Amino acid sequence: AAAFAGLQQAVQQNRVAPEDRVVVINTGNGLKDVQSAMRGAALAGAEPHPVRPLLADVRRLFG
């Protein structure tokens, strides 16, 4: 919501024209709160697969 509100403010301040194409990245999916995401996965019956924050490890997980 904050990213979209920032875009609206930028339009009101004429920093972004109404006809400009823009992309708003919305990360309000709860994944920043890892513990809540893990609880939600468990409630859904999903088995978590923790990986180190390394691209090689993520690639191994997803094959």
The predicted-structure confidence for 18-48, as pLDDT tens digits, reads as follows 899 999 887 776 667 888 888 888 899 998 7
Q: How many domains is the chain built from?
A: 1
Per-residue model confidence (pLDDT) at position 9: 94
Per-residue model confidence (pLDDT) at position 17: 92
Asked if 14 and 7 touch (Cβ cutoff 8 Å), the reply is: no
Residue 15's domain comprises 2-62
Indicate the pTM of the whole model: 0.42
Mean pLDDT of the chain: 87
CA dihedral 7, 8, 11, 12 (to 10 degrees): -140
pLDDT tens figures, 2-11: 888 999 999 9
